Structure 1
Amino acid sequence: MEVEKFRYDNQIVRMFLFATILWGVVGFLVGLLIALQLPFPSFNLGEMFTFGRLRPLHTNAVIFAFVGNGIFLGYYYSAQRLLKARNYSDVLSRIHFWGWQLIIVAAALTLVLGYTTSKEYAELEWPIDIMIALVWVVWGINMIGTILKRREKHMYVAIWFYISTLITVAVLHIVNSFEMPVSFLKSYSLYAGVQDALVQWWYGHNAVAFFLTTPVLGLMYYYLPKAAQRPVYSYKLSIIHFWALIFIYIWAGPHHLLYSSTPDWAQSLGTVFSIMLIAPSWGGMLNGLLTLRGAWDKVRNDPVLKFFVVAVTAYGMATFEGPMLSIKSVNALSHFTDWTIAHVHVGALGWNGFMLFGIIYWLTPKLYKTTLFSRKLANAHFWLGTLGILFYAIPLYWAGITQGLMWKQFTPEGVLQYPNFLETVL
C-alpha cells in the first residue's frame, strides 16, 4: 500500500503571526495615546489625531487587526491538523491575508481622515464594507473546501466554532451594512430610529460573540489541551457549550438598549437571554480550566499555560459580568460609566489578548523549529500584562460605580447635584 504524503502550509501561518504582532503593537499604542489624551489634552495632535478620530481607530485595530489576524493565525495552523489536510487553496489563503491587511490600512486611513458611519464596531464606509464581505467569502471558500477534502472523518469541536464564526459574522456584517452611498466615502444607513438601534446592537453584541468569542473558544479547545498535553476535560460538555452558546448569544443584543425607546419586550428578551448565557459560558470556562487537572505543576513554570489560565479566567469573569450588567437595576448604575470600559478591556485584553499571547509563545518555536528565546522574558511579559490589566480595570470599576452614584444624587430642590458631566470624571 502506497503511503500518501502531503505538507501543511505553514507559510500562511507565519504571515498572520507577523501581522498579529505588528497590529497588536499599533492597537495598544493608539490605546495608550487616547488614554493620555483624557488627562493631558495637549496629546490631541492636530485634527486627524484627536480622541474622536483615534478612539474608533483603536477599537478597530485591536478587534479586527490584532485579534482578527490572531484568529486567522490560530485557525490556519489548527484547522489543517484537525482536518489532516492542507488548505484547499494556497492562492485563496494569500488573497485572504493581503486582502485583510488592505482592509486594515484602508480603515486606518479613512478613520483618521474623519470618514465614518458612526456605528460602533461598524464605522467603516461602504467600499471597505464590500471589501470585508469579499475577503470573508474567500476565507469561507477556503475553509469549506478544506473541510470537504479532509482525511479525518470526525470534525473536532474547534472546527464547529470556526464554522459558526464564518456563517454568523457574514450575516451580521452584511445585514448591518445595508446603506445608501451618496459619494465614494459617504453613505447613510437604510435603517432609522429604533430599527437602526436594534440592528446595530444585534450586530454590535454579536461582533463580540462571534468574532471575539466563538473563534477564540475554538482556539482554546485546540491549543490549551496541546500545551497542557492533556485531553479536553469533557468532550460532551464542549459540544453542549457550542450549541447552547450559539443559540443563546444571538438574542442578547437588546441589553445594550435598556431604558431606551426600543420596545420593552425586546429589552426584556435581551436581559433574559443574557442571564441564560452564564450557563454555557461558565461551562466552557470550567471545561478549559479542568483540562489542566493533573497539570497545575506545569503552570508554575510554563508561561504559555500561565497566559491560558488567566485568559480562560478572564473569559469567565467577563461572561459573568456581562449578564449581570444586562439586569436593569444594575444597568441603571453602570450604563455610560467607566465600568463598561473596564468590562470590555477585561474581555479584550484578558481573554483575547492573553489567549493570543499564549498561542504565539507556543506556536512560534514550532514554526521555526527552535526553542523560545527567553522564558524569563515571557514570564515578565505575563506578570506585567496581568498586573497591567488589574491596575487598569480595578480603578475603572471604582470610578464607574462612583460615577453612577453621582448621577443619582439630587439637591433638596430636586435638581441634579452634579449636572456637569465633567464633575464625574475629574
Structure 2
Amino acid sequence: MIAEESAVERPALYAVDPKQELQKMTIVYNDGIARAFLGASVVWGIVGMLVGAIVALQLAWWPANVAPYLTFGRLRPLHTNAVIFAFVGNMIFAGIYHSTQRLVKACLPSDFLAKVHFWGWQAIIVAAAVTLPLGFTQAKEYAELEWPIDIAITLIWVVFAVNFFWLLARRTEKHLYVAIWFYIATIVTVAVLHIVNSLAIPVFGLKSYSIYGGAQDALVQWWYGHNAVAFFLTTPVLGIMYYYLPKAADRPVYSYRLSIVHFWALIFVYIWAGPHHLLNTALPDWAQTLGMVFSVMLWAPSWGGMLNGLFTLKGAWAKVKSEPELKFFATALTFYGMATFEGPLLSIKKVSALAHYTDWIIGHVHAGALGWNGFMAAGMFYWMAPRLWGRPLHSKKLADLHFYVGTVGILLYVVAMWVSGITQGLMWRATDAQGALVYPNFVETLLAIRPMYWMRLVGGTLYLVGMILMGYNLARTARAGKPVDGTAEIVVRARRADVPWKAIVFDTPVVVIAIVGGCVAVMLATNWYAAVFFAVTAIFAAIMGTLVLHARAAPGEYPWHRVLEGRALLFTVFTVIAVLAGGVAELVPSLVIRQTDAAAASEAHPYRALELEGRDIYIREGCFNCHSQMIRPFDFEAKRYGPASTLSDSMYDHPFQWGSKRTGPDLARLGGKYPNLWHYKHMLDPRSVTEASNMPAYPGLVTSRVDASRTEAKVRAMRSIGVPYTEKDIHGAAEDESHQAALIVSDLAAERIDVAPDSEMVALIAFLQRLGVHAEPAPPPTQNVSLAH
C-alpha cells in the first residue's frame, strides 16, 4: 500500500528547535464517514442515472410520461439534483473527509458532526426526491428546492464547514497541500452562492417567490448556476484529482508552481463568467461582453490544471494500462480539458447564437458531468475501496469493463447531442431566397433530431450499466473485507520559526491583492468609462505581480506562497477576497438593470390574480424545462416568435422564466396568438393540435381545482418584493379571479366545452394568454383551431 503522505516533494517550512523534545503519536483516522459517503454516492449515482435514462426516453417517446407526478417537467430537475448533489455531492464529501485527515495528519475533531452531516445530507436528498415530483419547485436551475430545504442545506453546510476548519486548526502538518486549497475555495464560495441565490419570500410551507425578478433574477441565478458548476462540480473534484491521482500513480504532482497559478487564476476568473449564459438576451450588452471576456480567459487556468494532471502521469503510462483507477483518472482529465475548451467556445456571442437553447448545451454539460465528474468518482472509488475495506478490488476485469462501457456511453451521448444541437440551430435560422423561414413549424426540428434522442438514450443506458457494474464490484469488495481505519505515526514538530509580520503585510502577494481589490472597489463606485480603466489596471497589476513573484523566487528561499500555505486563516481570507471581487462586480449590473426596469415600468403591468395562479401551475409542471420566454434579437427569431424580448417583459416575473433549453417553441409572445380552445385541446392532447409533438398530456388540469383562498396571500407576497399591487388588488384578488375565469369559461362554452371556472386549466389558459401582452389582454380569437404550432 502506498504510504499515507502528501504526494508532492516540498522543502521544509518549519524549523526544528533541537532543545525541544519530540513526541511520537499514533493517529487513527475516522474512515467510517468516508465509507458512508462512498456508499451513498454509488447508490444515488445509480438512481440519478436511472432517472436520466427515463427522462431521455420521455423525450424520444412521449407515452413514457406518466402524469401528473412522473412527467418530464417534474423528473428532469430530480435528475439534475440527484446527479449533482446526491451523486457528486456524496463523492466529494467522501474524498474531502478521507484525504484531508491524511494531508493534515489529524483525525476528525467531531465524529458527531460528521454523522450529522451525513444523515442531514441524505435527508435533504430524500426531501428533494419527494418534493420535486410533487411539483414543489422554485424553478431556478440547480436551485429548484423550496425554502425549508434551502435552510436545511445551509445548516448542514455550516456543520460541514465547522468540522473541516476545526480539522485544519488541529493539524499537525502545518503545510496546506494544494488539494486543501480547492476544498477551502469550495466551502466558502458555495456558502455565498447558495445564500444569495436562495433569498426568497415564503408564502406557504412549500411555496415561495424569489426576491429577485426579471433580468435581476437572471443575473443572480446564472451567477449561481455557472459557479455551482465551478465550485461544486469542479474545484472540489480538482482537489480530489490533486490528491488521488498522484497517490494512484505513485508520482508527485508535475508542477507545484503550475498548481499555484491554476488555483488562484481559476477561482478569480471563474466567478465573473456567469453572464455568458445570458448572451443575446435582453441583458445590457456590456454585461454580456463582460461575461464573454472572462469566459474566454477561463480557458488558460482550466487547461493548466488539466495538463498538470496529465503530466503527472508522465512515466506511468504502463501502470495506466493495468490499473483501472488510472484509466478513469486519465480519461476524466481528458473530458475536463474538452469541456473547458468547449465552454469558452460556447461563450463567444456568435457561437452562442447558434448553440444556445439547443441540445449542444446538453451535450456540453453531460461531457463534464459524466466524463469529468463521473469518471473521477469511479477512479477515486476504485482506489479507496480496497484501502477502506482491507482487501484487493473484487475484480479488475469488471472495473475495466465498466470503463469501456461507460466511455462508449459518454461518446454516444455527447455526439448525439452535438449533432442534434447543431441541426436545431441551423434549422431554426434557415431562410429561403425571399427571407421566409424554411422550417416555420417548430415541430419540424423535433422530427429531424428524434433519431439522436434514441441514440442519447442508448448512450445514457450504457453509462447506467457501467454504474451498476461499479456498484456490484464495490459491494463485493466491501462484503469480502471488513472496515479498516487508516493510521499514521506522527512526530509533534517543534515550534514554528518566527516570520516577521512585516514580511507578510508588505510582501508582494498582499500588495498585489490590495491593488486589485482597491481597483475593483473603485469600479463599483464610478461610471462605466472609469470602471473600464480600473478593470484594466486590476488585470495589469495581477499579471505583473505574478511575473514579479516568479522572477524573484530562488531555490532554498521561502516563497510567499509557502508562508501563506502555513496559515489556514490567512489563506481562507485571501480566497474569499479573490472570489468576492468577481462575484460583487458581476452582480453590480443588477443595480443598473433595476434603474432600467424602473424606466420601463410604464410598459409593464403585474399579473392579474388568475394569471398569477396559472403561472404557479406552469412552474409546478416544469414547463420552463422545455420552453423559453426570451426572444433573441435575431431576424429569424422575430419571424418565428415576434419582436425581441425587452427587460420590461419579465420585470415582474419572480422567478424569471427566460429558460435554458427549447424542446418546445418560445412562449414570450404567445398571448393572444391562439384561441382559448386551442390551449384547452393542447393541454388535453398535444397531438390533436400539433402532430408529432412530444409534449406530455395534462388531462388532470380539468379536474384539479385552484385554491382561491390562497390567492390573496400570493398577491401580498409579490407586493412585498416590489411588484406594484395596490391594496385594492390584494383585497379584490378573489373577485377579479372569478371575473376573469368567467370570461374564459364563457368563451369555451361557446365552443361546447364545459369546464369549471376554478379549474387549473382555466388558470393556466389565463396565464398563457397573458404572455407578451403588456396591456389588458384582448378577447382571444374564436376561429377554428389551427394545426400550426
Q: Distance in 2 between matches of 1:211 and 1:420?
A: 39
Q: Distance in 2 between matches of 1:222 and 1:260?
A: 41
Deviation for aligned residue 1:413: 4.0
How many matched pairs?
A: 426
Q: Letter of the aligned partner of 1:296 in structure 2?
A: W
- In the other structure, the counterpart of 2:271 is 250
Contact kept, 8 Å, 2:74 with 2:132, in 1: the verdict is yes
- In the other structure, the counterpart of 1:226 is 247
- In the other structure, the counterpart of 2:421 is 400
Does 293-302 or 412-421 show the bigger shift? Answer: 412-421
Deviation for aligned residue 1:297: 0.8
Q: Distance in 2 between matches of 1:165 and 1:209?
A: 9
- In the other structure, the counterpart of 1:26 is 47
- In the other structure, the counterpart of 1:160 is 181
- In the other structure, the counterpart of 1:290 is 311
Residue 54 (structure 1) aligned with residue 84 (structure 2)? no
What secondary structure, in the 3-state scheme, does the structure 2 residue paired with 1:47 have? Answer: coil
Contact kept, 8 Å, 2:27 with 2:105, in 1: the verdict is no
- In the other structure, the counterpart of 2:115 is 94
Contact kept, 8 Å, 2:295 with 2:347, in 1: the verdict is yes
Residue 145 (structure 1) aligned with residue 166 (structure 2)? yes
Q: Distance in 1 between matches of 2:220 and 2:53?
A: 31
Q: Structure 1: state its 5+ residue gaps.
A: none
Q: Which has the higher helix share?
A: 1
Q: Distance in 1 between matches of 2:444 and 2:123?
A: 42
What secondary structure, in the 3-state scheme, does the structure 2 residue paired with 1:48 have? Answer: coil
Of the three residues 157, 163, 181, the one matched with 1:136 is 157
Q: Distance in 2 between matches of 1:112 and 1:89?
A: 36
- In the other structure, the counterpart of 1:40 is 61
Deviation for aligned residue 1:422: 2.1
Residue 240 (structure 1) aligned with residue 261 (structure 2)? yes
Q: Letter of the aligned partner of 1:68 in structure 2?
A: G
Deviation for aligned residue 1:2: 4.7
Q: Letter of the aligned partner of 2:214 in structure 1?
A: G
Residue 13 (structure 1) aligned with residue 13 (structure 2)? no
Q: Distance in 1 between matches of 2:118 and 2:76?
A: 25
The within-5 A match list for 1:172-211 is: 172-211=193-232
- In the other structure, the counterpart of 2:460 is none
Q: Structure 2: state its 5+ residue gaps.
A: 1-21, 448-789
Contact kept, 8 Å, 2:154 with 2:191, in 1: the verdict is yes
Percentage of pairs with the same residue: 66
Deviation for aligned residue 1:41: 1.5
Does 261-270 or 403-412 show the bigger shift? Answer: 403-412
Q: Please report the TM-score for the alignment, with normalisation by the length of structure 2.
A: 0.54
Q: Letter of the aligned partner of 2:261 in structure 1?
A: I
Does 158-167 or 415-424 show the bigger shift? Answer: 415-424
Residue 304 (structure 1) aligned with residue 304 (structure 2)? no
Contact kept, 8 Å, 2:255 with 2:308, in 1: the verdict is yes
- In the other structure, the counterpart of 1:279 is 300
Residue 369 (structure 1) aligned with residue 390 (structure 2)? yes
Q: Distance in 1 between matches of 2:85 and 2:346?
A: 25
- In the other structure, the counterpart of 2:376 is 355
Q: RMSD between aligned alpha carbons? A: 0.8
Q: Distance in 2 between matches of 1:257 and 1:148?
A: 41
- In the other structure, the counterpart of 2:706 is none
Does 374-383 or 39-48 show the bigger shift? Answer: 39-48
Q: Distance in 2 between matches of 1:189 and 1:317?
A: 35
What secondary structure, in the 3-state scheme, does the structure 2 residue paired with 1:112 have? Answer: coil
Q: Letter of the aligned partner of 2:330 in structure 1?
A: V
Can you list the C-alpha shifts for 1:69-104, whole angstroms capped at 9, x where unaligned?
Answer: 000011110000001011121111000000000000
What secondary structure, in the 3-state scheme, does the structure 2 residue paired with 1:182 have? Answer: strand
The within-5 A match list for 1:306-321 is: 306-321=327-342
The within-5 A match list for 1:101-140 is: 101-140=122-161
Using CA pairs under 8 Å that are at least 6 residues apart, name the structure with larger relative contact order, 1 or 2. Answer: 2
What secondary structure, in the 3-state scheme, does the structure 1 residue paired with 2:371 have? Answer: helix
Q: Letter of the aligned partner of 1:129 in structure 2?
A: D
Q: Distance in 1 between matches of 2:26 and 2:249?
A: 29
Deviation for aligned residue 1:421: 2.2
Q: Letter of the aligned partner of 2:172 in structure 1?
A: R
What secondary structure, in the 3-state scheme, does the structure 1 residue paired with 2:203 have? Answer: strand
Can you list the C-alpha shifts for 1:191-217, whole angstroms capped at 9, x where unaligned?
Answer: 111111000000000000000000000
Q: Please report the TM-score for the alignment, with normalisation by the length of structure 1.
A: 0.99
Residue 334 (structure 1) aligned with residue 325 (structure 2)? no
